[in-house]
Amino acid sequence: MNLAFKGSILRWGPRLVKLKCSNTTIRKSTADEAQYAVRFGEKGRCITGVQCTTLDAYCAQSKIKRIDVLKIDTEGFDFKVLQGSSVMLQKHAIKFVYFEFNDLQPREGRFGGASMPIDAFLRRHGYRFVASYNDYIATDGEMFSVSLFLLCRLLL
């Protein structure tokens, strides 16, 4: 079953979150310090409130017991989404985790986009690296890449 989330955002805790938006359609992030926003100078011009929940709460409410592939593309908030998935991870209910990253290690003054903290977190839950590939690389000015990372839970 494919799920699309409309009207809510998965994040690390249930609450109302203020999202930043811009007048352009290329706005890639909800945080001014996110990798894309810093690299391309995208600053939020307005703020809107959006109700959020965790993946654990959503799965419990929707009676979802198992996830084959969890694809996360939350523009820097991927690690926070995983932190809100601790029950599903502890139950070994997620087989594959697939997320976007911009760098291996966190970068000073920037939010999200680092793969190593997510890898370390998921290793504690029995996940191991499967594959990675580059989606695109911008080389004009400061180099910026968008890559994807796939991990699989061992002992399925």
pLDDT tens digits for range 33-69: 677 666 667 666 666 666 778 999 999 999 999 999 9
| Total-model pTM | 0.74
- DSSP assignment of the chain equals ------S-EE-SSSEEEEEEE-SSTT---SSTTBHHHHHHT----EEEEEEEE-HHHHHHHHT---EEEEEE--TT-HHHHHHTTHHHHHTT-EEEEEEEESBSS--TT-BS-BHHHHHHHHHTTTEEEEEEEEEEEE-SSS-EEEEEEEEEES--
Lowest-confidence pick of 1-5, 80-84, 89-93: 1-5
How does pLDDT run across 15-27, given as a tens digit for each residue? 444 554 444 444 4
